Chains A and B, each alone.
Chain A
Amino acid sequence: MKVTFPHMGYLYVPVRSLLNSLGVEVIVPPAISQETITLGTRYAPEFACLPLKVNIGNFLEAKELGADTILMAGGVGPCRFGYYSQVQREILSDLGIDLDMIILEPPQGQWRLLLRGLKRLTAKASPLAVYRAGALAWAKLKALDFMAKEMHPIQAREAVRGRTMRAWKEMVERIDDADNTKAVQEATQQGLALLRKIPLQTAKDTLKVGLVGEIYTILEPAVNLDIERSLGEMGVEVIRSVYLSDWVVTNLVLHTLHLRDDTEHYRLAAPYLNHFVGGHGLESISSTIEYARAGIDGVVHVAPLTCMPEIVAKSILPQVSMDEDIPVLTLMLDEHSAEAGIKTRLEAFCELLQARRNRQQTCHKRNCDVPAQCREGFTFEGISRN
């Protein structure tokens, strides 16, 4: 059995580690490229959301490398992700491609299905080995999320463009190479040292922008046209609302045990939306409110075109933006391949955030009578920073 799975940011690191330690052979699909997206859009229904299409591209490219089995997560809606595995299986079988599919259905649905999926993967491993495999994968995921959080403020202040990104790539490789939890800890320390060595610009008060929206578009740089890097390299500190490890704890562990840690999100979103709408629709709203109150300068909201939960959020966000006095930029992503269009919008957005901040700092009150002098205070350098 040679197992493959779809890409989503650095998800491949912990998943490969997990499967390898279980004694399963793994084929990681090639990094998502324009070719992957072209392949996926050729065979997927036109109105399906982008992640489904990219997944198909991943599977087909992994098949070329010899994969014979797909590991895919299931879901129970209302987001269409719940149907992905079924639709993808149909598409692949219509293409006459022989790929077996192991679907891990979330326990909110049926325990039996989850156990059946897991049993096929863990057949060769003892309970102790399963525990160890899980612990190592979890350590890697936690380490990567931790490093990503540490990286954002440094990227916004780096003195030479691209240094942070280079360090990040090295950190991912080191964590990927670690073969026990102790090695993961060492890799994390080495990674931190790498980050600390990056020369920074002299003390700079950077803009802070919250990134909210659909999990796949937030986490996969190839799909969001590297939005975190673009913002970071413009000198903006990104505050990401979704981290994979948090998602695993909330959705896979706590909800399975009928416990919650998301009541705060529900409480914040309640004046606008008091029902789960699938995906991260509700969290997009609650996080925007949270960021506004924490003094974050603005929010960028990303989602794939036709994403139902985020369309709900998108229609509510203008009201939230007005009530909480925080600018929001929504970017609906599809098969765009031109970074330039996104960068233009991001730069203009940050520009208005900077002008707002200058004004707030000069006048200390919102309805200022002498806007002329504040207008002059443009300091945001945008993409011409480097």
Chain B
Amino acid sequence: MRAYLGIDLGSVSTNFIVLSQNGEVLANIYLRTQGNPIQAVKKGLLRTKSELPSNITISGVGTTGSGRQLAGIMVGADIVKNEITAHGIAAANEVPGVRTVLEIGGQDSKIIILRDGMVIDFAMNTVCAAGTGSFLDRQAERLGLPIEQFGQLAMRSQNPVRIAGRCAVFAESDMIHKQQLGHSMEDIARGLCQALVRNYLNNVAKGKDIFPPVLFQGGVAANVGMKQAFEEALQMEVWVPTQHAVMGALGAAVLARRKTTDSAKSNFRGFKVSDWNFDVKGKQCHGCSNCCEVVEIQGEGQTLARWGDRCGRWSEQIPMQTA
């Protein structure tokens, strides 16, 4: 049976999805990247393989996320796409009429506006990471709460406290202040969710027309407190898709399916890659005043790719396989 693999190599998590020809999810893996993307890809491949029935052949691979190039080189991707497009595609695939996608991940947050299944506008946080998953993680830790329970706790609050949401640093000091005044944990948790939603709507979604249906995805969408805060602020229903945490990977798989339906052979190197030894070397090129930092990826002693050079002097020597 033909199937398609999507990999989203993000800063915080690395996700794998295997999609069948008719769009069924055959495997779904969510891993923490933990600062070691190569290890995460290898581990993910191993786990994906163990979850798949033996009669599956991977006929196409797509990669996305901030580490998409690296993941693409490692596994031999047929398509390498930015995460904005991947998330948009996945959302349109899940809910065909979707018009707004709110996406909050580990280090970034974005809004994607779609009409008739097409991305027509988007925005991504630029100079501030307030309101992203990492910030929530840290605050949950400060409150001594497991992040998984954060949303449930916020839902119990009847009387949320007001926390300044413009800047993450001040939100934190504001929150500590409220804590010291003796406010209950759930009121603070809900107040924090509301602050983050305000921050998101003011910074990322500034000037965009938000029309239903609204989809909320990314790792933070698991937080029911955030979903509720969005619904309150937008005064409309917000949907969280079942695959919310792995939407990037889903989009990559959909793209891979589109790309390879007619072309004969996939570039996929096979699951054996999980046993390969990968080595990354960085060096500074002194060919000109740019002093580019060139990165070289080696797999099983063979140079697979080089990048980082502006002129192409190093990368040209090895044709990329993802073209």
| Cβ distance B56 to chain A, nearest Cβ, rounded Å | 24
We find that the number of chain A residues with CB closer than 8 angstroms to chain B is 42
Residue from the list B80, B127, B315 in contact with A334, Cβ < 8 A: B127
Asked if A375 and B92 sit within 8 Å, CB to CB, the answer is: yes
Neighbouring B residues of A31 by C-beta, 8 Å: 289-290
Contact flags B120-134 to A (C-beta < 8 A → 1, else 0): 111010110000000
Residue from the list A332, A375, A382 in contact with B117, Cβ < 8 A: A375
Q: Which has the most chain A C-beta neighbours within 10 Å: B82, B117, B119, B291?
A: B82
- Of the candidate stretches A120-128, A138-146, A183-191, A339-347, the one touching chain B is A339-347
- The residue in chain B whose Cβ has the minimal distance to the Cβ of A160 is B316
Residue from the list A334, A355, A384, A385 in contact with B119, Cβ < 8 A: A355
- Indicate whether B221 reaches chain A with its CB closer than 8 angstroms: no
Neighbouring B residues of A161 by C-beta, 8 Å: 312, 315-316
- Indicate whether B320 reaches chain A with its CB closer than 8 angstroms: yes
Asked if A162 and B312 sit within 8 Å, CB to CB, the answer is: yes
Neighbouring A residues of B116 by C-beta, 8 Å: 368, 371
Asked if A374 and B310 sit within 8 Å, CB to CB, the answer is: no
Q: How large is the interface on B (under 10, 10 to 19, 20 to 34, 35 or more residues)?
A: 35 or more
- Indicate whether A386 reaches chain B with its CB closer than 8 angstroms: yes
Q: With A226-B310, A348-B82 known to touch, is A371 a contact of B117 (CB < 8 Å)?
A: yes
Asked if A372 and B312 sit within 8 Å, CB to CB, the answer is: no
- Indicate whether B79 reaches chain A with its CB closer than 8 angstroms: yes
- Indicate whether A76 reaches chain B with its CB closer than 8 angstroms: no
Q: Which has the most chain A C-beta neighbours within 10 Å: B118, B120, B289, B311?
A: B118
- The residue in chain B whose Cβ has the minimal distance to the Cβ of A315 is B207
Asked if B289 and A384 sit within 8 Å, CB to CB, the answer is: no
Contact flags B257-288 to A (C-beta < 8 A → 1, else 0): 01000000000000000000000000000000
Asked if B118 and A371 sit within 8 Å, CB to CB, the answer is: yes
Residues of chain A in range 353-386 having any CB-CB distance to chain B below 8 Å: 355-356, 359, 368, 371-372, 374-376, 378, 381-386
Neighbouring B residues of A165 by C-beta, 8 Å: 310-312
- Indicate whether A30 reaches chain B with its CB closer than 8 angstroms: yes
Give A352 to B86 CA distance when docked, in angstroms: 12
- The residue in chain A whose Cβ has the minimal distance to the Cβ of B313 is A162
- The residue in chain A whose Cβ has the minimal distance to the Cβ of B118 is A355
Neighbouring A residues of B80 by C-beta, 8 Å: 382-384
Neighbouring B residues of A160 by C-beta, 8 Å: 312, 316
- The residue in chain B whose Cβ has the minimal distance to the Cβ of A305 is B127
Q: With A332-B126, A375-B92 known to touch, is A351 a contact of B310 (CB < 8 Å)?
A: no
| Cβ distance B37 to chain A, nearest Cβ, rounded Å | 13
Give A305 to B127 CA distance when docked, in angstroms: 10
- Indicate whether A318 reaches chain B with its CB closer than 8 angstroms: yes
Asked if B320 and A386 sit within 8 Å, CB to CB, the answer is: yes
Q: With A345-B84, A359-B118 known to touch, is A378 a contact of B258 (CB < 8 Å)?
A: yes
Residue from the list B117, B120, B312 in contact with A327, Cβ < 8 A: B120
Asked if B127 and A352 sit within 8 Å, CB to CB, the answer is: no
| Cβ distance A107 to chain B, nearest Cβ, rounded Å | 36
Neighbouring A residues of B57 by C-beta, 8 Å: none
- Indicate whether A166 reaches chain B with its CB closer than 8 angstroms: yes
| Cβ distance A11 to chain B, nearest Cβ, rounded Å | 17
- Indicate whether B85 reaches chain A with its CB closer than 8 angstroms: yes
| Cβ distance B59 to chain A, nearest Cβ, rounded Å | 17
Residue from the list B121, B258, B291, B312 in contact with A376, Cβ < 8 A: B258
- Indicate whether A33 reaches chain B with its CB closer than 8 angstroms: yes
Neighbouring A residues of B120 by C-beta, 8 Å: 327, 352, 356
Asked if A162 and B316 sit within 8 Å, CB to CB, the answer is: yes
| Cβ distance B187 to chain A, nearest Cβ, rounded Å | 36
- Indicate whether B83 reaches chain A with its CB closer than 8 angstroms: yes
Give A31 to B288 CA distance when docked, in angstroms: 11
Residue from the list A351, A368, A378, A386 in contact with B82, Cβ < 8 A: A351
- Given A162-B316, A318-B207: 5 more A-B contacts, CB < 8 Å: A160-B316, A359-B118, A378-B258, A384-B80, A384-B323
List the 3 closest A-B pairs by CB distance, nearest first. A162-B312, A348-B84, A371-B116
10 intermolecular pairs with C-beta atoms under 8 Å apart: A161-B312, A327-B120, A334-B127, A348-B84, A351-B84, A352-B122, A375-B92, A376-B258, A384-B72, A386-B312
Interface residues of B, Cβ cutoff 8 Å to A? 66, 69, 72, 79-85, 92, 116-122, 124, 126-127, 207, 255, 258, 289-291, 310-313, 315-316, 320, 322-323
